[in-house]
Amino acid sequence: MSDDYKFFEQVNKAFDKAAAYTNLDKGLLAQMKICNDVLHVTFPLEKDDGSIEVIEGWRVEHSHHKLPTKGGIRYAMTVNEDETMALAALMTYKCAVVNVPFGGAKGGIKIDKSKYTDSEIERITRRYTFELYKKNFIGPGSDVPAPDYGTGEREMAWILDTFRQLNSDINADGCVTGKPISQGGIRGRTEATGRGVYYGIMEACQSKEDMKDLDLDTGIEGKTFIVQGLGNVGYHAAKYLTEAGAIMVGVAEIEGSVYDENGIDLQKLTEYRKENGTIIGFEGTTELKGKNKALEAECDILIPAALENQINAENCERIKAKIIGEAANGPTTSEAHDYLKKKGTLIIPDNYLNAGGVTVSYFEWLKNLSHVRFGRLGKRFEETSYRKILSVIENISDRMFTEQELSYLAQGAGEYELVDSGLAETMISSYNEINELRKKHDVDLRTAAYINGIEKVGIIYESMGIFP
Ligand code: NAD
């Protein structure tokens, strides 16, 4: 990534463009834009060989208009203050767009994970948590981290365990989300961001008008797509799109790009990469030589699911996809966005499309505070009620259901079903909300999502009476 790339500036450019469509006070908008708290920590790591290394990390709480603040923790060499501020700001607007009642935050540690052993990563994670705790940057009512690039359930479990050593709050489980189920996590969180990406793209592809403009058929089935980054978000987005009948024709990973116009088997490719440490050479595919070449290959939908600044002034003219589904945060720079918009590309923006993760994190946090699994109280009751209705139908219709039909029709909703239903409802209704604003103001979806987020945060500031 180039050193002169200013991610926070990019976010604020999009903010300013959208803010012009609102009637909010200039001072209020300035307050909304800035980051409320920025924490920079450095601490020593004793490596397995006894040597000492200084580790650098950040946590940014962008907006305290709602508490707790919420946002993932990233482990990558790209992590710096500017990136963390940009990602925290994005979280504020994203949460508002999907009506998740949190302020935005983000954290990160500047490390290349591949250079550390598991026990070193555990020590880094625990010490970072301790630093956050000392400075009041973590807690179920103040700031709640989650997984992001380079982190997952394992790191979240270490964060929770460290927090619990320091604090005996009855709601301690709610200090972090994306935990393993056994540690108070929720079914459906791991796949939530990718599944949300799928719901968002599916909804966009339902628009006859938009698809006609792009010269595409309505719906997902038969559409070709390329994904950049087969990590948590990219893998799950690809999985659900494929299951819905879309065809994955290309993949870009760190080691290079592969393409097959007849479709690439996601599971087999994932196994191949696990065995060989690369996607290059996978059966039936052609290697596309050059950095991120798959981004420029022929497809209907391009899904960047790695890092920011991937579709930029340098490569945007070569992007052929008609739809870009921003699964990653900030993958398209403002210059590239403007070029692609003029060309007619439909960009489904990050500040809406990857909100499935924080949506299900919100459900996990609610579960932790209520100390009860979703569905525990109602599932059996629902099943009994449905069976009663089915038995009335049997009596009046002379049609007896088989036990298989009964168990299918009389199914009560468990935790996974409720989470998935809440996620689908959130992604679909939020898409329609921003799409209405897009039509109303004749703007693109990104600007519409920002208008939506800014107005919702603005109403809260105004109702606090801070601003006349
Ligand atoms: P991850 O660490 O699970 O996976 C990222 C993948 O991208 C890895 O497989 C990595 O090898 C690959 N990658 C890195 N650089 C690449 C490059 N230049 N070209 C091709 N591939 C590359 O991370 P993730 O959690 O899937 O996050 C991906 C993106 O989604 C990030 O922008 C993150 O902020 C965003 N996001 C994640 C979540 C979440 O719940 N994890 C939620 C919202 C947004």
Nearest CA to ligand 1 atom 43: 354
**449 Cα to the center of ligand 1, angstroms:** 22
Q: How many CB atoms lie within 10 A of CB 195?
A: 24
Percent of all residues in the chain with a pLDDT value above 70, rounded to a whole number: 99
Is the confidence at residue 468, as pLDDT, over 80? Answer: no
303: Cβ–Cβ under 8 A, 6 or more apart, which residues? 197, 201, 225, 226, 227, 228, 234, 237, 238, 324, 325, 327
Average pLDDT in the chain: 97
Pairwise CA distance, residues 327 & 346, whole Å: 14
Is the confidence at residue 454, as pLDDT, over 50? Answer: yes
**357 Cα to the center of ligand 1, angstroms:** 13
**150 Cα to the center of ligand 1, angstroms:** 7
Is the confidence at residue 1, as pLDDT, over 60? Answer: no
350 CA: nearest ligand 1 atom: 44
Q: Which residue has the higher pLDDT, 466 or 239?
A: 239
pLDDT value for 466: 61
Collapsing DSSP to helix, strand or coil, 91 comes out as: helix
pLDDT tens-digit map of 151-177: 999 999 999 999 999 999 999 999 999
Q: What is the mean pLDDT of residues 325-335?
A: 97
Nearest CA to ligand 1 atom 20: 253
pLDDT value for 4: 77
Q: How many CB atoms lie within 10 A of CB 239?
A: 18
**325 Cα to the center of ligand 1, angstroms:** 14
The Cα-based distances of 117 to 287, 368, 401 in angstroms read 31, 31, 57
Percent of all residues in the chain with a pLDDT value above 90, rounded to a whole number: 97
Nearest CA to ligand 1 atom 39: 148
**Which residue out of 97, 112, 149 has the highest number of ligand 1 atoms within 8 Å of its CB and is therefore the one to mutate?**
149
Nearest CA to ligand 1 atom 38: 148
pLDDT value for 3: 58
Whether a cis peptide bond, with omega within 30° of 0, leads into 147 is: no
**Which residue out of 10, 113, 148, 199 has the highest number of ligand 1 atoms within 8 Å of its CB and is therefore the one to mutate?**
148
pLDDT value for 467: 54
- Residue 465: pLDDT band with limits 50, 70, 90: confident
pLDDT value for 370: 98
Task: Encode 50-83 in three state secondary structure.
Answer: CCEEEEEEEEEECCCCCCCEEEEEEECCCCCHHH
Q: What is the mean pLDDT of residues 301-326?
A: 97
Which residues have CB under 6 Å of ligand 1?
72, 147-150, 193, 228-234, 252-254, 292, 305-307, 327-329, 354, 357
Pairwise CA distance, residues 341 & 447, whole Å: 12
Structural domains of the chain, with CATH: 7-191+431-464 (3.40.50.10860), 215-343 (3.40.50.720)
> pTM (2 decimals)?
0.96
Q: What is the mean pLDDT of residues 315-323?
A: 98
76: Cβ–Cβ under 8 A, 6 or more apart, which residues? 108, 110, 111, 112, 149, 150, 307
Q: What is the mean pLDDT of residues 233-253?
A: 98
150 CA: nearest ligand 1 atom: 2
**Contact call for residues 149 and 178 (beta carbons, < 8 A):** no
**319 Cα to the center of ligand 1, angstroms:** 20
pLDDT tens-digit map of 15-69: 999 999 999 999 999 999 999 999 999 999 999 999 999 999 999 999 999 999 9
242: Cβ–Cβ under 8 A, 6 or more apart, which residues? 248, 266
Between 3-12, 180-189, 391-400, the lowest mean confidence (pLDDT) is in 3-12
Q: What is the mean pLDDT of residues 308-324?
A: 97
329 CA: nearest ligand 1 atom: 32
Q: Which residues are catalytic?
A: 106
pLDDT tens-digit map of 250-263: 999 999 999 999 99
**451 Cα to the center of ligand 1, angstroms:** 26
Q: What is the mean pLDDT of residues 434-447?
A: 98
